[in-house]
Amino acid sequence: MEPSRRAFLRTFTGSGLLAFAWLKDDWAVHLARAQEAAPSSQPPSVAAGNENFWFHIQQAFDIDRSIINLNNGGVCPSPRVVHEAMKRQLDWANHAPSRHLWEDQDPQVELIRVRLARQFGCDPEELAITRNASESLQIVLNGLDLKAGDEVLTTTQDYPRMLNTLRQRERREGIVLKQLRLPVPIQSADQVIKLFEEGISEKTKAILVCHVVNITGQILPVAEICRMARERGIRTIVDGAHAFAQITYQCADIDCDMYGVSLHKWLTAPIGTGFLYVRKELIKSLWPLQAAPIEKDDNIRKFEEIGTHPTAPRLAIGEALTFYQGIGPARKEARLRWLRDYWAQRLSKYERVRFHTNLDPAHSCAIATFGIEGIAPNDLAQRLWRQHKIIVTPIVHEDFQGIRVTPNVYSTTQELDIFCDAIGDLIEKGLPEKEPAAQPAVTQPATSAPASAPAS
d(CA 197, CA 151): 14
Is 113 within the bounds of a domain? yes
388 part of a folded domain: yes
- Mean pLDDT, residues 197-203 taken together: 97
pLDDT mean over 415-423: 98
Give dist(CA 21, CA 317) in Å, integer.
16
Domain-located, residue 309: yes
Does 228 fall in a domain? yes
In a domain? residue 278: yes
313 and 357 within one domain = no
Same domain, 315 and 337: no
DSSP E strand stretches across 32-188: 68-69, 127-130, 151-155, 176-180
Domain boundary among 320, 345, 363: 320
In the predicted structure, residue 403 carries a pLDDT above the cut 60: yes
Give the integer Cα–Cα distance in Å for 335 and 68. 18
> Taking a C-beta distance cutoff of 8 angstroms, is the pair 358, 380 a contact?
no
Instruction: Respond yes or no on whether the N-terminal peptide bond of residue 160 is cis (omega within 30° of 0).
Output: no
pLDDT tens-digit readout, 80-101: 999 999 999 999 999 999 999 9
Q: Is 208 helix (H, G, I), strand (E, B) or coil?
A: strand
Q: Which residues contact 232 (CB under 8 A, 6 or more apart)?
A: 200, 204
Final residue of a structural domain among 272, 294, 320: 320
Range of the domain at 353: 331-429
pLDDT at 369 over 60: yes
| Tally of structural domains, the chain | 2
- pLDDT in the model for residue 29: 64
Res. 453: pLDDT tops 70: no
Share of the chain above pLDDT 90, in %: 84
> In terms of domains, do 355 and 413 share one?
yes
Mark whether 226 and 297 lie in a shared domain: yes
Res 26: pLDDT: 58
306 and 338 co-located in one domain: no
pLDDT, tens digit, 9 for 90 and up, residues 282-335: 999 999 999 999 999 999 999 999 999 999 999 999 999 999 998 999 999 999
Same-domain pairing of 202 and 313: yes
Least confidently predicted of 219-228, 363-372, 392-401, 431-440: 431-440
Residue 244: band (very low, low, confident or very high) from pLDDT cuts 50, 70, 90: very high
56 domain residue, yes or no: no
**Residue 40, pLDDT score:** 73
Q: At what angle do helices 329-347 and 413-429 cross, to 10 degrees?
A: 20
pLDDT at residue 180 tops 80: yes
Are 277 and 338 contained in the same domain?
no
Give domain status of residue 389, yes or no. Answer: yes
Helix (H, G, I), strand (E, B) or coil at 369: strand
CATH number at residue 250: 3.40.640.10
Beta strand ranges found along 267-389 (DSSP E) = 274-278, 353-355, 368-372
Domain boundary residue, one of 260, 288, 320 = 320
Note the pTM of the prediction, 2 decimals: 0.89
Confidence of residue 34 (pLDDT cuts 50, 70, 90): confident
How far is residue 256's CA from residue 279's CA, in Å, rounded to a whole number?
A: 8
Write down the mean pLDDT value for the chain.
90
CA within 13 Å, CB half, 346: 16
pLDDT at 31: 65
C-alpha 239/C-alpha 261 separation (Å) is: 7
Per the DSSP assignment, residues forming a β-bridge with 395 are 402
425: left (phi over 0), alpha (psi -120 to 50) or beta: alpha
In eight-state DSSP terms, residue 102 is I
CATH, residue 423: 3.90.1150.10
Same domain for 231 and 348, yes or no, is no
* Residue/partner pairs of 425-430 with CB below 8 Å, 24 or more apart: 426/372, 426/375, 426/380, 426/383, 427/350, 427/352, 427/353, 427/372, 430/374, 430/375
More confident residue, 139 or 450: 139
Q: Is 276 helix (H, G, I), strand (E, B) or coil?
A: strand
| Rounded Cα distance, 244 and 192, in Å | 21
Residues 240 and 137 occupy one common structural domain: yes
On whether residue 271 sits in a domain, the answer given is: yes
Looking at the chain, the whole-number percentage of residues with pLDDT higher than 70 is 87
| Same-domain check for residues 419 and 281 | no
d(CA 393, CA 69): 10
Residues 251 and 115 in one domain: yes
pLDDT score at 28: 56
pLDDT value, residue 431: 81
173 and 300 share one domain: yes
